[in-house]
Amino acid sequence: MNKEDKVYVTRPSLPSLVEYTNEIRSIWDNKWITNMGPLYEKLRGQLAEVLGASNIELVTNGHMALELALQSFDFNGGGEVITTPFTFVSTSEAIVRAGLTPVFCDIDPDTYTIDTSKIEGLINEKTCAIVPVHVYGNICNVEEIDKIAKQHNLKVIYDAAHCVGEKYKGRGIGGYGDASCFSFHATKVFNSIEGGAICINNNENAFNKVRKLKNFGYSDTGDDINVIGVNAKMNEFSAAMGICNLRHLDDNIQKRKEIYNTYLCNLNNISGIKLNESQTMVTRNYAYFPIVIDCSKNGVSRDYVMHRLQNNNIFPRKYFYPLVTDFEIFKSNYDSSATPIALQTSQEILCLPIYPDLEISKVEEICEIIIESINSGGGKCAR
Ligand SMILES: *Cc1c(COP(=O)(O)O)cnc(C)c1O
């Protein structure tokens, strides 16, 4: 069987080879291949606009964006960070690697983002920050989070890895919180092959520190080191890919929207299938199409539906399963039953294929298989 016959959850967006070749041509003239070259600066300027943040740095990936953002706020001596377990493991790994301790809050069952009514119960004198995740591009309750953070003097660092191209109340997502971190990984809506961005709001100290941290601790001009940094610089070839892909971002989001709406239309009102809620103030990027399959409704489990799709060469993903707190490295220190909504969602969630050139007829076929497997009543409701 040919790889082309298989439908995966996503497929990276690529410009034409000619477009990319034209973009990297200048590199052969100026011999500048990394270390904040002209393409880096060009992309940085463009993304400042798209993400809605003036203080922005580009880095090697979304994970490093999170790590460096956390380090930039000087939580000296560590501290506790309130976050959620229903996310890609990177969120929690960044917290631990920044010398901090994750404390897990449950999620809202409709948006899968942090349940703000449960944050204050987790705050104590060691708490230094909240790291909420805009899961699937669903925007967290930013107003409530902001209020809680101000009351308790906490920093808010958003994991906005899923959000490139989105707006909330007309404003780019990078403008929210003390910092917002984006991923430009191949699997995301917008890619620079690998890449990421840190947006820092209203904090020159933190922004200067991010700039140093990503380049071994060197300041822009100085020859001295006063902070232990890493190497997280985005190279020129990645920046060129980002510049090309940014030209097609709106088009790609439009194509995703058609796919998203086809799924909505076909899977609406199917007993036992819960769809992602729309958020009125959010301009979406249609990055994911998650469905929640409630086994108690008709006795058909998420895993059964997934199995049926796989038998038809369609490969959805269980984002996010297992919960972060169920990974071996976290398991001994945390209890997943303390976040019951997150736990249940992780057992019922399935993210369906969505990418710009997925054919509408394929989407319809996927919906048919799902509906047929739900109606078959097959597959035990094992959990
Ligand atoms: C992709 C992702 C990351 C990590 O980004 P990379 O660019 O892959 O390092 C972090 N958090 C979430 C929620 C993600 O989906």
Instruction: Give the atom of ligand 1 at the shortest distance from the alpha carbon of 195.
Output: 7
Cα 197 to ligand 1 centre (Å): 11
Instruction: Give the atom of ligand 1 at the shortest distance from the alpha carbon of 63.
Output: 9
Give the pLDDT band (50/70/90) at residue 130.
very high
pLDDT at 377 over 80: no
Whether the CB-CB separation of 199 and 180 falls below 8 Å is answered with yes
Q: Mean pLDDT throughout 335-359?
A: 98
Q: Mean pLDDT throughout 303-312?
A: 96
Cα 62 to ligand 1 centre (Å): 5
What is the model's pLDDT at position 222?
73
Cα 310 to ligand 1 centre (Å): 25
Say how far apart CA 250 and CA 130 lie, in whole Å.
31
Instruction: Give the atom of ligand 1 at the shortest distance from the alpha carbon of 133.
Output: 13
What is the SS3 assignment for 189? coil
What is the SS3 assignment for 372? helix
Going by C-alpha positions, the residue among 321, 319, 323, 322 that lies closest to residue 352 is 319
How confident is the model over 102-126, as pLDDT tens digits? 999 999 999 999 999 999 999 999 9
pLDDT at 1 over 60: no
Q: Which residues contact 292 (CB under 8 A, 6 or more apart)?
A: 273, 274, 345, 348, 349, 350
Cα 88 to ligand 1 centre (Å): 6
Whether the CB-CB separation of 20 and 240 falls below 8 Å is answered with yes
Q: Transcribe 52-88 into DSSP letters.
A: T-SSEEEES-HHHHHHHHHHHT--TT--EEEE-SSS-
Instruction: Give the atom of ligand 1 at the shortest distance from the alpha carbon of 183.
Output: 7
Q: Which residues contact 76 (CB under 8 A, 6 or more apart)?
A: none
Q: Mean pLDDT throughout 13-29?
A: 98
pLDDT at 11 over 60: yes
Of all residues in the chain, what percent carry a pLDDT higher than 70? Answer: 97
How confident is the model over 243-285, as pLDDT tens digits? 999 999 999 999 999 999 999 999 999 999 999 999 999 999 9
CA-nearest residue for atom 10, ligand 1, is: 90
What is the model's pLDDT at position 219?
82
Q: Mean pLDDT throughout 75-80?
A: 89
Give the pLDDT band (50/70/90) at residue 4.
low
CA-nearest residue for atom 5, ligand 1, is: 62
Q: Length of the chain in residues, anyone?
A: 383
3-state helix, strand, coil in the chain (%, to 5): 45, 15, 40
What is the SS3 assignment for 108? coil
Whether the CB-CB separation of 374 and 298 falls below 8 Å is answered with yes
What is the model's pLDDT at position 383?
44
Q: Exposure of 94 by Cβ count < 10 A (0-12 exposed, 13-18 middle, 19+ buried)?
A: buried
Instruction: Give the atom of ligand 1 at the shortest distance from the alpha carbon of 135.
Output: 13
What is the model's pLDDT at position 194?
98
How confident is the model over 155-178, as pLDDT tens digits? 999 999 999 999 999 999 999 999
What is the model's pLDDT at position 378?
63
pLDDT at 82 over 70: yes
Of all residues in the chain, what percent carry a pLDDT higher than 90? Answer: 92
Mean pLDDT of the residues in the chain: 96
What is the model's pLDDT at position 380?
58
Instruction: Give the atom of ligand 1 at the shortest distance from the alpha carbon of 90.
Output: 10
Cα 232 to ligand 1 centre (Å): 15
Cα 111 to ligand 1 centre (Å): 18
Tokens of 300: 């058909």
Q: Mean pLDDT throughout 4-8?
A: 87
Cα 347 to ligand 1 centre (Å): 21
Whether the CB-CB separation of 273 and 230 falls below 8 Å is answered with no
By most ligand atoms within 8 Å of CB, the mutation choice from 63, 139, 238 for ligand 1 is: 63
Cα 80 to ligand 1 centre (Å): 21
Say how far apart CA 32 and CA 19 lie, in whole Å.
19
Rounded-to-10 torsion of CA 352, 355, 357, 360: 30
Estimate the crossing angle of helix 360-376 against helix 302-311, to 10 degrees: 130
Whether the CB-CB separation of 61 and 185 falls below 8 Å is answered with yes
Pocket of ligand 1 (CB under 6 A): 61-63, 87-88, 90-91, 133, 159, 161-162, 183, 185, 196
Whether the CB-CB separation of 46 and 243 falls below 8 Å is answered with yes
